[in-house]
Amino acid sequence: MKNGSGRVFELLGLAQRAGVVERGVDATRRAVRDGRARLVLIAEDASTAQLKKIAGLLEHRPVPQRQLGGQEALGAALGSGPLSAVAITLQDFAEPILHYLPVDRAGYRDGLDEARGGQ
């Protein structure tokens, strides 16, 4: 039986094969700026500097964001080296991934607030 994050990593692999994943902080930022991002996933061990690069863009955009595993696990799910962030650009993949990732207001929101300068 798969747990929620195991299923998410499977869905990420499918999304990658479908060509609807932007990998890395810069590609994720471009997808958010261009309005293509439907979901942003950030590694739990992403640095504050990496969070800052994304947090400002997400602040005024209705793009859901969640934390998921470490950089190594996030990259491995996509057949890549370590990744701090990825963007899913197709709603048909974003919705089922969100289904398996509950909002972690205490951990993730605090991290984003910290990246925004404590607001």
Query: The CATH number of the domain where 42 resides is what?
Result: 3.30.1330.30
CA dihedral 75, 111, 91, 87 (to 10 degrees): -40
User: What residues contact residue 39 under an 8 Å CB cut-off, 6+ apart?
Assistant: 63, 64, 65, 66, 87, 88, 93, 94, 97, 98
> According to the model, what pLDDT value does residue 1 have?
34
Model confidence, pTM: 0.83
Supply the range of the domain harboring residue 27. Answer: 4-115
> According to the model, what pLDDT value does residue 4 have?
65
> According to the model, what pLDDT value does residue 90 have?
97
> According to the model, what pLDDT value does residue 104 have?
57
> According to the model, what pLDDT value does residue 75 have?
94
Q: How many separate domains does the chain show?
A: 1
* Phi, psi of 50, rounded to the nearest 5 degrees: -65, -40
> According to the model, what pLDDT value does residue 17 have?
94
Positions of the chain with pLDDT lower than 70, given as ranges: 1-4, 103-119
